[in-house]
Chains A and B, each alone.
Chain A
Amino acid sequence: MIELKDIYKIYSDGDSEIRALDGVSLFVDKGEFVAIVGSSGSGKSTCMNIVGCLDIPTSGKYFLNGNDVSELSEKELAHIRNRELGFVFQQYNLIPKLNVLENVELPLLYKGVKAKERKQMAMMALERVGLADRANKFPSQLSGGQQQRVSIARALAGNPPVILADEPTGALDSKTGKEVLEFLKQLNSEGTTVVLITHDNDIAAQIKRVVRIHDGKIVSDETKEGN
Chain B
Amino acid sequence: MNLKQAFSLALKSLSGSKMRAILTMLGIIIGVAAVIIIVSLVNGVTSDLVAQFEKMGSTTINVSIMGRGGNRSVSIDDMQDLVNDNPKLLKAMSPSITLNGATTKNGSLNVNPATLAGVNEYYADIKGHEILYGRGLQYADSEYRLRNCVIGTYVANELFGSKNAIGQSLKINGITFDVVGVIDETADSKEASADDIVLIPYTMAQKITSGFSRGTYIFNAASKEVSSEAQSLIEDYLFKVFASENAYRVSNMSEMIDTINEMTGTMSLMLACIAGVSLLVGGIGIMNIMLVSVTERTREIGIRKSLGATPWDIMSQFVVEAITVSCLGGLIGIALGIIGSYGVGAIMDMKAVISFVSIFISFTVSALIGIAFGYFPAKKAARLNPIDALRYD
Contact = CB atoms under 8 A, between A and B. Distances in A.
B157 interface: no
A30 B54 CA distance: 89
B302 to A, nearest CB: 8
A190 B16 CA distance: 40
Interface string B352-387: 000000000000000000000000000000000111
Given A49-B387, A109-B1, A74 B311 contact: yes
A127 to B, nearest CB: 20
Interface string B303-320: 111111111110000000
A75 B312 contact: yes
Given A82-B308, A93-B390, 19 more contacts: A54-B386, A54-B387, A54-B390, A74-B311, A79-B310, A81-B305, A81-B306, A81-B386, A83-B308, A87-B307, A89-B390, A93-B299, A93-B306, A95-B300, A95-B303, A97-B16, A110-B1, A110-B309, A110-B310
A110 B313 contact: yes
A74 B299 CA distance: 18
A154 interface: yes
Contacts of A93: 299, 302-303, 306, 390
B213 interface: no
Interface of B: 1, 5, 12-13, 16, 299-300, 302-313, 385-387, 390
Contact of A78 (B305, B387, B390): B305
A107 interface: yes
A95 B299 CA distance: 9
**What are the 10 tightest A-B residue pairs by CB atom distance, in nearest-first order?**
A82-B308, A78-B310, A110-B308, A107-B307, A54-B387, A55-B387, A54-B386, A81-B308, A93-B303, A75-B310
A142 B164 CA distance: 94
Contact of A54 (B13, B299, B306): B306
A220 B385 CA distance: 31
A52 B390 CA distance: 13
23 contacts: A49-B387, A54-B305, A54-B386, A55-B385, A74-B310, A74-B311, A75-B312, A78-B305, A78-B310, A79-B308, A81-B306, A82-B309, A83-B308, A93-B306, A94-B303, A95-B303, A97-B16, A109-B1, A109-B5, A110-B308, A110-B309, A110-B310, A110-B313
A106 B304 contact: yes
Interface in A70-119: 74-75, 78-79, 81-83, 87, 89, 93-95, 97, 106-107, 109-112
A81 B387 CA distance: 13
A83 B309 CA distance: 11
Contacts of B5: 109
A115 to B, nearest CB: 8
B292 to A, nearest CB: 16
A87 B13 contact: no
A213 B254 CA distance: 92
A106 B307 contact: yes
Nearest to A151: B303
Contacts of B390: 54, 89, 93
